[in-house]
Structure 1
Amino acid sequence: MLHTFASHRQFLDTSRYILFAYMLINDALQVTTSVVLFAFFVYQIEFPIVYCIPLLFISTATFQNTPLILAIMSLERYVAIVYPLQCPPAWRSDRIWAIILTLWMISCLFPLIDFSIGKQDPNVDPFSTPVLCKTAVVNSTPIQMLLKAATSILFFTVVAVIILFTYVRILLETRKLRQDRASVNRAMYTVLLHGFQLVLCMLAFTHPITETLVVAHGWQPQDLAFFNYFTFILIPRFLSPLIYGFRDQSLRACIRKTLVRCSQKVWTYDKRIPQ
C-alpha cells in the first residue's frame, strides 16, 4: 500500500490518503517493535536498559498514536462532509503535515515524561547489567503507574468522544443527502468496522485490569501475555489496512493493477528460466 501511495501522485494530494499512509507507517513501527519485544519476553532474552529504552519508547509512542490517528481521520471525514466547498486550511493536503507533526509530539511527550520521572535501581547498571526488556522494568514507581493510568483514561475519553461525535454526524449528514439505500448501508457498515477497531485499541489501555481478573482465574502469565498481544495489538493493526484500504475503490483498483503487473513480470521471468 505504501508503494501504491508513492507511485500515484493523486493520493499524496488528498488529506484522507495522507493520513492513511501515516497510519500505515505508524502501525508498521508499532508491530515491528512490539514483535521484537514480545519475542524477547517469550524467550527471556536479557540485555542492558540502554538498549531497551529506545524499543520501549517507540513501541509506547506508536501505540498511543494509533487512537489519535483514528480521531484525526474521523475529524477529517467530518470536515470533508460538512464543509465540502470550504475546507478549513489546516485540513488541506499541503498543511495536513502540521497536524501529523502535532500528533507525533503528543505521542512522544508522555513516554518522555514517564521515563524521565522513573527512579533507577542502584543495583542495575544501565550500560552493563542485563535485564528483561519490558515496561515493568523501566516504569516501576507509583508515580509512573499513576501517570500511565491517567494517560490511558485521558486518551480513552477524548478519542471515544471524538469518534462518537464525528461518526454520528457523518451518518446524519449522509442521510440528509438523500443517497440511495446501498450507500447508506455501506456508511453504516464502515461505522461499525471503525467502532470495532476503536474498541480493540481502547481495551488495550485496560490490560492491567484484565490481567488481574484473568490471573485470578488461573491463567498462565505467558498465555495471558500472548492473548493480550494478539487481541489488542496485532488484530487492530491487521484491520486498519482492510478497513481504510481495500474498501476504498481508488486504492483497491491501483493495488489490483500493481499486483497484476507484478504477476506478469514473475510469469515472464519464469518462462525465460531454462527448465
Structure 2
Amino acid sequence: MNITDTFHNMTNSQFGQNIMWMQSKVIIVQVLVVIFLCINLLLIVTFFKNECFYTTARYILFAVTLLSDSFLFLVSDLLFILSIFQITMQVFLCSVICISVLLYLIVTPVTLTAMTLERYVAICLPLRHAELCSTRSTVHVILIIHGLSSVPFAVFLFTVFASASLDFYYQYRTCSVKILIVYKWQDHVWSAVFQFYFLIMSLIIMLCYVKIMKVARTASGDDKISSKGLRTVTLHAFQLLLCLIQFWYPLITSILIYTNFTDFQHVRFFCYIMFNLTPRCLSPLIYGLRDEMFLTALKKFLSCGLCDRQ
C-alpha cells in the first residue's frame, strides 16, 4: 500500500468518524429537546386546567417561563439542525429567526428576576403581598418583562440594519447569529448591553437572597416558608448564572476558533447543552416538582388521564 492509499484511508476514516459524531449529536439533542418539551407541555396543560393558578403571581410567571422556554427549545433546535447539516437560507429569514431567539433568550432570566422579587415580597413584606402581586399587577409585570427584554433585541436590530446593505439580506447562508454581526463594534455593543442586564439582575437576586436570609434567621413560626423561599432564590441564582455563562460563548468561540476544528465543534456542542438547554430544564424542577400545590395538581391531572384511558 503506497502513501496515497494510506492518506485516503485515513481521510475516509476521519470523515466516517465525523459523520457518526454528527449523527450522535443530533440524536442526543433531539432526545433532550423532546423530553424537555413534553415535560413543559405537561406543566402548561396542568396550569391551564386549574383556575386557582390564574390568580397567583408566581404561577403566572412560571407559565410565562414555560411558554418562552418551549418556544426557545423549538427555534434553537431548528438552528442547531440547520447548522449541523449546513443548510442555507436567505439572510432575511435567518435574521427573523435569530431575532426571535435573542428576544426569548432574555425573557427567561428577566422573568426569573421578577419571580425572585415576588418571593422577596411574599417573605419580607407579607402584608403587602396581596396588593403588590395581584393578578392585574402580574399582567403589568409580564408587559414590563417583554418590554425590558426587547431593549437588547432593538439594539441588535439597529446595529444589524445600520451596518449591512440591502443586498446582504437576499444572500443564502448557513443561519446563525454570527452572520448578522458584520463589524466587531456590533459584538461589543451587544455584549455590553447583555452584561449590563445580567449585572443588574444578579445584584437584585443577591439582595433578595440576603434579605430573605435575614428573615429566615429571625423568623419563628414561618421558618419553613422562609427556608423554602431561600432555597428557591438559590436555585434561581444558579439558573441565572447558567443563563449568564451562555453569553460568554462568543468569547470562548473567538479564543478556540484558531484551534483544532474538532475540539471547537465539541466545545460548541457542550456549550449548547450546558448553557442553553440546561438552565431551561431547571424551571420545571423549581416551580413544578418542588411546589406542593402544583405537584398535587399535576398528580391529579395525570391520574385523571390514566382513569380516562381505562
After TM superposition, the score normalised by the length of structure 2 is 0.79
Q: 1:107 to 1:16 in 2, by over 3 A?
A: same
Q: How far apart in 1 are the matches of 2:131 and 2:308? A: 43
Q: Find 2:299's aligned residue among 246, 256, 264.
A: 256
Q: 2:34 matched to which residue of 1?
A: none
Q: 2:87 matched to which residue of 1?
A: 45
Residue 135 (1) aligns with residue 171 (2) = no
Q: 2:263 matched to which residue of 1?
A: 220
The code of the aligned residue for 1:120 comes to A
Q: 1:259 to 1:120 in 2, by over 3 A?
A: same
Q: 1:145 to 1:237 in 2, by over 3 A?
A: same
Indicate if the aligned counterparts of 1:75 and 1:166 stay in contact, CA closer than 8 A.
yes
Residue 105 (1) aligns with residue 147 (2) = yes
The code of the aligned residue for 1:141 comes to Y
Residue 17 (1) aligns with residue 59 (2) = yes
Shift of the alpha carbon at 1:57? 1.0
**What SS does the corresponding residue of 2:164 show, helix, strand or coil?**
coil
Shift of the alpha carbon at 1:184? 6.1
Q: 2:236 matched to which residue of 1?
A: 194
Residue 120 (1) aligns with residue 164 (2) = yes
Q: How far apart in 1 are the matches of 2:236 and 2:129? A: 23
Q: Output aligned runs, 1:167-246, within 5 Å.
A: 167-179=209-221, 186-214=228-256, 218=260, 220-246=263-289
Q: 1:59 matched to which residue of 2?
A: 101
Shift of the alpha carbon at 1:91? 2.7
Aligned residues: 265
Q: Give the percent of matched residue pairs that are identical in Structure 1 and Structure 2.
A: 28
Q: 1:271 matched to which residue of 2?
A: none
Greater mean deviation of Cα atoms: 168-177 or 155-164? 168-177
The code of the aligned residue for 1:93 comes to T
Shift of the alpha carbon at 1:115? 2.0
Q: 1:190 to 1:15 in 2, by over 3 A?
A: closer
Computing the radius of gyration from Cα coordinates, the structure with the larger value is 2
Q: How far apart in 1 are the matches of 2:193 and 2:281? A: 25
Shift of the alpha carbon at 1:130? 1.1
Cα deviation per residue 1:71-120 (whole Å; 9 max; x = unaligned)?
11111111122221223745312221111111112212222221222222
Cα deviation per residue 1:181-213 (whole Å; 9 max; x = unaligned)?
766654554344233212111111111222344
Q: 1:141 to 1:231 in 2, by over 3 A?
A: same
Q: How far apart in 1 are the matches of 2:224 and 2:126? A: 22
Q: 2:75 matched to which residue of 1?
A: 33
Cα deviation per residue 1:19-73 (whole Å; 9 max; x = unaligned)?
1111111111111111111111111110101211221111101111221111111
Indicate if the aligned counterparts of 2:212 and 2:230 stay in contact, CA closer than 8 A.
no
**What SS does the corresponding residue of 2:52 show, helix, strand or coil?**
helix
Q: How far apart in 1 are the matches of 2:179 and 2:70? A: 25
**What SS does the corresponding residue of 2:250 show, helix, strand or coil?**
helix
Q: 1:152 matched to which residue of 2?
A: 194
Greater mean deviation of Cα atoms: 37-46 or 136-145? 136-145
**What SS does the corresponding residue of 2:127 show, helix, strand or coil?**
coil
Indicate if the aligned counterparts of 1:40 and 1:46 stay in contact, CA closer than 8 A.
yes
Q: How far apart in 2 are the matches of 1:138 and 1:160? A: 28
Q: 1:225 to 1:178 in 2, by over 3 A?
A: same
Q: Output aligned runs, 1:87-102, within 5 Å.
A: 87=129, 89-102=131-144
Q: How far apart in 2 are the matches of 1:182 and 1:133? A: 49
Indicate if the aligned counterparts of 2:120 and 2:211 stay in contact, CA closer than 8 A.
yes
The code of the aligned residue for 1:56 comes to C
Greater mean deviation of Cα atoms: 51-60 or 82-91? 82-91
Q: How far apart in 2 are the matches of 1:54 and 1:123? A: 16
Shift of the alpha carbon at 1:15? 0.7
Q: 1:273 matched to which residue of 2?
A: none
Shift of the alpha carbon at 1:222? 2.1
Q: 1:154 to 1:131 in 2, by over 3 A?
A: same
Indicate if the aligned counterparts of 1:13 and 1:94 stay in contact, CA closer than 8 A.
no
Unaligned runs of 5+ in 1: 269-275
Shift of the alpha carbon at 1:236? 0.5
* CA RMSD across the alignment: 2.2
Q: 1:260 to 1:46 in 2, by over 3 A?
A: same
